[in-house]
Amino acid sequence: MSLKWHPYSLYETDTTRFWVHYGLVILGAVLALVTAVAQWRDPAPYGKHERKDQNWGPLIPQRLGHFLSDALPGVVLFVLVFVFYGTQNKNYINYIFLAMFLSHYVHRGIIHPLIMRYRNPRVAIGITLGGFFPNCLYHFVNADFIGSAEYHSNYYYDPRFIVGVILFCAGYVINRHSDLKLRSLRDTKDSINEQYQRTRSYDAMSNHTENKTENPGCTGYYVPYGGFFELVTCPNYFGELVEWIGWSLATWSFAGLVWTLFCAATFVPRARHNHAWYKSQFDSYPPNRKSLIPFLF
């Protein structure tokens, strides 16, 4: 019940494909290192870390940007590479991995943008491309691997597969639950803002004067509570990181490993900056809450 170390039988004769695959894997490892260093110093300029003094190109709708950066490489490209670039001798294990990957990216790239209330309805095209191109690289090598890897017919008994799938599912649940929590906070904020605007309109009609002591409304951020938010500032990142650790273990691939490293290179600095931001904005921010990993970091 072991996985062949060389996953492609065609590697015995097709050395070009071997070097294309592992050349891209090496490139992915280098990109993960560069990303970790760059983002540790300065947070990626979107969301609460968006800076008005930076020009990342023309603005496009945020929902479209999310679709381009996540759904196009994570769903469309992944399926095309799996089906047409992979080998023909796939078994059900390969299709289980395809379903796992798509379960994340159909939600992340299609459902999430449709239901999410964005703080800013538009995003710079440069920010979108900054996610699109790395995703294309990592998703290509992962689709290439699981579309051609020769897993033993009883691989579902292998501890790597069992533990990996459990971790993937656990991370998926944590990530989805945390995203729903954040969405509910934005819905609450929008409701309060709408109520405040109606109150201002009524006061303006009544007084034709401006009330200088009026509450400006809740237009900022809230401190999330409940679930893994009791332990870390960014449980959505923690959940996704657990997902991809499970993915790399279950697939037993260097492609999965470098994708996990790139995610860590993004999530660890981002969580650190988010944690520092919340502590600077809220005096009563829970002091025992960590940034990303419960009880550790």
pLDDT value at position 190? 46
pLDDT value at position 281? 87
Between the alpha carbon of residue 227 and those of residues 169, 179, 203, 296, the distances in Å are 16, 11, 40, 17
Residue 229 has pLDDT above 70, yes or no: yes
Ordered DSSP codes for 190-229: HHHHHHHHHHHHHHHHHHSS--TTS-----S-----SGGG
pLDDT value at position 45? 73
Tokens of 90: 């796939």
Of the listed ranges 1-10, 43-52, 201-210, the least confidently predicted one is: 201-210
Q: Quickly state the pLDDT bin for 174 (edges 50, 70, 90).
A: very high
CB 149 within 8 A of CB 8: yes
More confident residue, 55 or 223: 223
CB 181 within 8 A of CB 229: yes
More confident residue, 142 or 219: 142
pLDDT value at position 18? 85
Residues 66 and 123: their CA atoms lie apart, in Å, by 9
CB 151 within 8 A of CB 95: no
Residue 84 has pLDDT above 70, yes or no: yes
Average pLDDT over residues 247-260: 96
Tokens of 232: 């870390």
- For residue 232, what is the DSSP state? B
Q: Quickly state the pLDDT bin for 220 (edges 50, 70, 90).
A: low
Residue 176 has pLDDT above 80, yes or no: yes
Tokens of 17: 């494909």
Q: Strand, helix or coil at 34?
A: helix
Query: Which of 253, 247, 34 has the alpha carbon at shortest distance from 134?
Result: 34
Residue 184 has pLDDT above 80, yes or no: no
Q: Quickly state the pLDDT bin for 68 (edges 50, 70, 90).
A: very high
Q: What angle do CA 258, 260, 265 make, to 5 degrees?
A: 90
Write out pLDDT tens, residues 122-134: 888 998 999 999 9
pLDDT value at position 56? 83
Ordered DSSP codes for 76-132: IIHHHIIIIIS-S---HHHHHHHHHHHHHHHIIIIIHHHH---SSSEEEHHHHHHHH
| Rounded (10°) angle between helices 125-146 and 235-251 | 30
Residues 88 and 150: their CA atoms lie apart, in Å, by 11
Region of 226 please: left (phi>0), alpha (psi -120 to 50) or beta: left
Of the listed ranges 20-34, 43-57, 128-142, the least confidently predicted one is: 43-57
Average pLDDT over residues 254-269: 96
Q: Quickly state the pLDDT bin for 67 (edges 50, 70, 90).
A: very high
Q: Mean pLDDT for the chain?
A: 84
Between the alpha carbon of residue 286 and those of residues 33, 174, 212, 237, the distances in Å are 31, 20, 33, 19
Whose tokens are 């971790």? That residue is 167
pLDDT value at position 23? 94
pLDDT value at position 65? 92
Between the alpha carbon of residue 55 and those of residues 3, 126, 168, the distances in Å are 48, 9, 37
pLDDT value at position 203? 43
With a pLDDT cut of 90, the percent of the chain lying above it is 58
Q: Give the CA radius of gyration of the chain.
A: 22
Average pLDDT over residues 140-160: 91
